[in-house]
Amino acid sequence: MGDMTTAIATTFRVQALPAHDLARIRATGIDDFGHSLRVSVVDEEPGTPLRCCLREARAGERVGLISWRPLREAPDSVYAEVGPVFVHAEDCPGYQRERSYPDGFRHRNQVLRSYSATGDMLDAVLTGGAAAEEAIAGLFSNPDAVVVHSRNVTAGCYMFAVYGPDETAR
């Protein structure tokens, strides 16, 4: 597994929600779909998964709930759904290890979905965090795959995007 993690670290990039979009939403208190930023305080551990820094919220942290459209590559696609995501209510450092699968989500089972440049879903797999790099590499073996989304298994909510080495994060 160590060899796979090292190899994968140079072949794809993990992207949390873009900091510039979150800064705008936090500043206005309104998400891109007209919903107010809903702020609460996490009162127990483990907390909700944060899409800004890709870790779970800790007890006492202020989190915000917003609507988000994860398929930025093709906003007119029938797969360009909008759903709820949690982020820090205030600015945070974001996700700093974009060449690595998020350690804060490694204990979670995830659904990984690959999409084409036109926004068509190509494939989906269920994986545990321990096998995530292998599953992502398998999805990117399809030459039409430009992005892979990680989704929560239970609620189906968007977690983060993974881009291949030649794709620009959105």
Please give the chain's pLDDT, 170 residues, in tens: 344 444 444 478 999 999 999 999 999 999 999 999 999 999 877 679 999 999 999 999 999 999 999 998 788 999 999 999 999 999 999 999 999 999 989 999 999 999 999 999 999 999 988 899 999 999 999 999 999 999 999 989 999 999 986 655 55
The pLDDT of residue 1? 39
The pLDDT of residue 9? 44
C-alpha span between 144 and 122 (Å, rounded): 8
Q: Which residues pair with 70 in a beta bridge?
A: none
From residue 57, give the alpha-carbon distance in Å to each of 50, 148, 149. 6, 24, 21
Helix, coil or strand: residue 68: strand
Q: What letter does residue 103 receive in the DSSP assignment?
A: G
The pLDDT of residue 3? 40
pTM for this prediction: 0.88
The pLDDT of residue 68? 97
